[in-house]
Chains A and B, each alone.
Chain A
Amino acid sequence: MIRKGKGIGCMWYPIGFTVAANPSAATVKVNEDGTATLLTGTVETGQGSLTVLGQIAAEELGISTEDVHVVSADTDATPMDTGAIASRTTYVTGNAIKLAAEKAKEILFEVAAPMLNVKPSQLEAADRKVQVKGFPQRFLPIDEVALQAQFVQGQPPIGSASYNPPTVDMDPETGQGKPFSTYVYATQIAEVEVDDETGDVNVTYMAAAHDCGTAINPMLVEGQIQGGISMGIGFALQEEMLFDEKGVQINPNLTNYIMPTSLDMPDIDVDIVENFDPTGPFGAKGVGEPTAVPTAAAICNAIYDAVGVRITSLPATAEKVLALIKEKNEKDIKQLSPAE
């Protein structure tokens, strides 16, 4: 018989390295026509980090994502970056980029201020314009300012900066300290169907509510969450590297190492929990790794809700679930007939 269950997995996860320095540096160059080039030493590993980093630079300069070209991943040309690890790119590299763009913007403001008859501190950048705060009717298009800066004032609007999350080291005896600058939080709730005759578990629905601070690009955040859930499903139900008694792996191929296919995926509803972290670039934190964290917990709790067995070792393969169901049934029968 197919039995349904629901289960919660809730988690917290830090951004960046544990205490250890993990800096990023960045350079932002505003071109003569108001477009910009961003140099970063991080690498696009599929998450869409370069898009997000471009959006951060664009926001600071008041231009659009399309106006920013991102150059990355060449140690000869791009500045130091700790890299695509520890869910740190949006937060750490993002902060470095925001600071670098701010410096380039300051040059633009210095040049624009006398042209607009105000002080640099009265200016803001928005919609491809440098405009007066509180009186946006007075403005200059950013390309005009950039051209003026470069070729009249001889001050190319370029900024470089770096960022390293502030931490406090941990006491070796008690572990007390501030190992991370910030954390994200999330809950996933799974609905499963368990076949109590075969032990087969089918995840039918997943509601995922993730905090990532400000979502710089909601589409990419959703993509991370959906992908993280698929990895979590593999971890919960299918994947396991197996070794023979001599320590040689017996399933070093995708025939025998089972990972999720399109058929294993449930319907997923993603919610981005509204939040703003004052220490992140425009309030952003990160989202990469945490998406894969609570999935297995939610699924195993749902299995318990469905058939009343507690999975204590992963993965919850059909054989394992079935064995536990049988064990439980036997116990139940014994309890029913105490006469023995």
Chain B
Amino acid sequence: MVDKVKVKERESTLEELREVNDDLRLPSVPEKVSFPIDVVTPEARTQTPAVGQRASRPDGRMHGLGQTKYIDDMSFPGMIYAKIKRAGVAKARIKKIDLSEAEKMPGVMATLIGSEIPVNSFGPSYQDQPIIADKLIYHAGDPVAAVAATTEQLAADALEKIKIEYEQLEPIFDPIEAMKESAPEVHPGQGNIYSSKIIQKGDVDKGFKDSYRTYENTFSTQMVEHVPMEPHASIAEWDANGRVIIHSSLGRITLGRADIARTLDMPINRIRVVATVVGGNFGGKNEITTEPILALLSRKTGRPVKGIYTREDEFMSSTTRHPFIMDYKTGVSEEGKIISRKVRLVCDGGAYCSWSETTLGKACILSAGPYNIENLYVEAYAVYTNKTMTGAMRGFGAPQVCFAYESHMDDIARDLDIDPLQIRRINAFHEGSASPTGQVLQSVVVKDSLDVAADRFGWEEWQK
């Protein structure tokens, strides 16, 4: 091959260019970041024995320097951005999705709808949740389409151009109403009560008869968001061997990988999930969310695709804490010993099961409190409603039932004129107590914790 440009010509062109803009000679480099590299290790990290040391966290220094790299802090050459269109209606049938306008927008590289997902369902207990809703909408935060574009803003703009026709269906929001036979079904063909549990021990009715007094009350709690400061975030990218690498804010990568493999209908070993330090989880990042969507958009475009939840996505479309309605009836002796307790729990399970099974189970077992109760009956139901799905959140139903059983306990103590600390001491589990499920408990320190806290607080001396 003959060079068309001679060296001399090239030199002169270069000279010209240099004259035009001298700055071209400066390579562009990322901003400088400086911190000491040779550093002293904090003492507690270097000591033995290791257990019991107040050893500092290796990521603690990175946090303070702003050097911890969360998913949103990573970028790859050619990376594009995905945004998700949400239903905005609580229950509907999708009649038509028109993406043509959106696809014409500048910078838009691909779109995705539910019917393009190989296996469009997932969930830890029941696979009742679509990755992108394709036929029915179950709650207002349901994803209905996704767009990938060259910038986040362009992707967001394109969402506005997506036209969807819905046939409105009758939603149901109140879990107690939803339990009725006549209630509209959230998932057609399946009753709204999707999980129930029972715990039975002794004879509650006899227990109530033997009681000195009985007390009843109903408690309820609200829906709460995890609010991790870092919103859900992932980046998906394929290699030439047909493997997909997903950088994700998941707190549960092994099982997340299995879920992704299932939805993409791919062998597990073709998927690599890499997490970083998660910017807050609290149970909210234990399930896959957009990972399969990003993987598919990345396959369509041949580019790495990043998807970051907006704060609004986070509220509308991630899991939340279950609202509970809790009926308590308790019979006690004159001395304040609990003789019998009956509990009915209804948990608003939102649009999908997610971790409701587990939440219901734990709430059921824990609902009696850390107390010895010979006669116990607990029944619990998880109910579908057309609201944001409820799932795992720090405590799985425990904060809800604890609010109920401890409030109830104080009402009993007051009525019997027993000190609240004392009534708990009287009833507390001890080493070898049998739990509501008949399990023999070990390493039990309920009374110790009561005493330590009361001492620290100055329970006796405290004055108004």
Interface residue ranges, A against B (CB under 8 Å): 3-14, 17-20, 41, 43-46, 48, 50-51, 54-56, 58-59, 62-66, 70, 72-76, 80-86, 126-128, 170, 172-180, 182-183, 185-189, 191, 205, 207-211, 213-220, 228, 231-232, 234-236, 239-241, 243, 246-249, 251-254, 257, 259, 269, 271, 273-279, 282, 285, 288-290, 292-298, 300-301, 304, 306, 310-315
Q: Which of B140-191 contact A (CB under 8 A)?
A: 140-141, 171, 173
Going nearest first, the 10 A-B pairs with the smallest beta carbon separation are A83-B252, A247-B90, A175-B199, A297-B406, A252-B315, A58-B50, A45-B281, A12-B370, A209-B453, A73-B275
**Which residue on chain B has the smallest CB distance to residue A74?**
B274
Q: Total number of A-B contacts with CB less than 8 angstroms?
A: 396
CB distance from A228 to the nearest CB of B (A): 7
In the complex, are the beta carbons of A85 and B251 less than 8 A apart?
yes
B392 within 8 A of A: yes
In the complex, are the beta carbons of A82 and B370 less than 8 A apart?
no
A44 to B252 alpha-carbon distance, docked (Å): 10
Residues of B within 8 A of A279 (CB): 442
Given A10-B370, A84-B281, A128-B48, answer yes or no on A228-B255 (Cβ-Cβ < 8 Å): no
A-B contact pairs, 29 of them (CB 8 A): A5-B464, A8-B453, A8-B454, A10-B406, A11-B369, A46-B277, A54-B50, A54-B55, A70-B58, A75-B254, A75-B273, A174-B200, A175-B198, A175-B365, A175-B378, A179-B361, A209-B449, A211-B443, A211-B445, A219-B54, A247-B90, A252-B316, A254-B311, A278-B443, A292-B399, A300-B407, A304-B410, A312-B218, A313-B220
Cross-interface CB contact of B406 among A4, A45, A56, A301, cutoff 8 Å: A301
Question: 1/0 contact trace for B433-456 toward A, CB 8 Å?
Answer: 001111101111110111011101
Residues of A within 8 A of B445 (CB): 185, 211, 273-275
A12 to B56 alpha-carbon distance, docked (Å): 29
CB distance from A190 to the nearest CB of B (A): 9
CB distance from A301 to the nearest CB of B (A): 5
Given A218-B52, A312-B218, answer yes or no on A187-B407 (Cβ-Cβ < 8 Å): no
Question: 1/0 contact trace for B264-293 toward A, CB 8 Å?
Answer: 000000011111111111110110000000
Given A179-B365, A252-B316, A296-B399, answer yes or no on A126-B255 (Cβ-Cβ < 8 Å): no
Given A10-B370, A84-B278, A312-B217, answer yes or no on A44-B59 (Cβ-Cβ < 8 Å): yes
A234 to B224 alpha-carbon distance, docked (Å): 9
Given A83-B254, A294-B402, answer yes or no on A247-B171 (Cβ-Cβ < 8 Å): yes
Residues of B within 8 A of A6 (CB): 457, 459, 462
**Which residue on chain A has the smallest CB distance to residue B312?**
A252
In the complex, are the beta carbons of B449 and A46 less than 8 A apart?
no
**Which residue on chain B has the smallest CB distance to residue A251?**
B315
A272 to B421 alpha-carbon distance, docked (Å): 19
**Which residue on chain A has the smallest CB distance to residue B224?**
A239
In the complex, are the beta carbons of B254 and A14 less than 8 A apart?
no
Given A235-B399, A301-B406, answer yes or no on A187-B450 (Cβ-Cβ < 8 Å): yes
CB distance from B87 to the nearest CB of A (A): 9
Given A73-B276, A213-B443, A243-B173, answer yes or no on A289-B227 (Cβ-Cβ < 8 Å): no
Given A43-B251, A173-B198, A292-B394, answer yes or no on A55-B51 (Cβ-Cβ < 8 Å): yes
Residues of B within 8 A of A288 (CB): 394
Q: Which of B228-272 contact A (CB under 8 A)?
A: 250-257, 271-272
B306 within 8 A of A: no
Residues of A within 8 A of B362 (CB): 14, 18
CB distance from A103 to the nearest CB of B (A): 18
B53 within 8 A of A: yes
In the complex, are the beta carbons of A248 and B90 less than 8 A apart?
yes
B21 within 8 A of A: no
B429 within 8 A of A: yes
Residues of A within 8 A of B398 (CB): 11, 13, 289-290, 293
A228 to B393 alpha-carbon distance, docked (Å): 12
In the complex, are the beta carbons of A241 and B224 less than 8 A apart?
yes
Q: Which of B380-405 contact A (CB under 8 A)?
A: 386-388, 392, 394-396, 398-399, 402-403, 405
Residues of A within 8 A of B299 (CB): none
Q: Which of B12-55 contact A (CB under 8 A)?
A: 41, 44-55
In the complex, are the beta carbons of A209 and B456 less than 8 A apart?
yes
A20 to B274 alpha-carbon distance, docked (Å): 25
A240 to B320 alpha-carbon distance, docked (Å): 10
In the complex, are the beta carbons of A271 and B457 less than 8 A apart?
no
CB distance from A275 to the nearest CB of B (A): 5
Given A211-B448, A252-B312, A313-B219, answer yes or no on A83-B453 (Cβ-Cβ < 8 Å): no
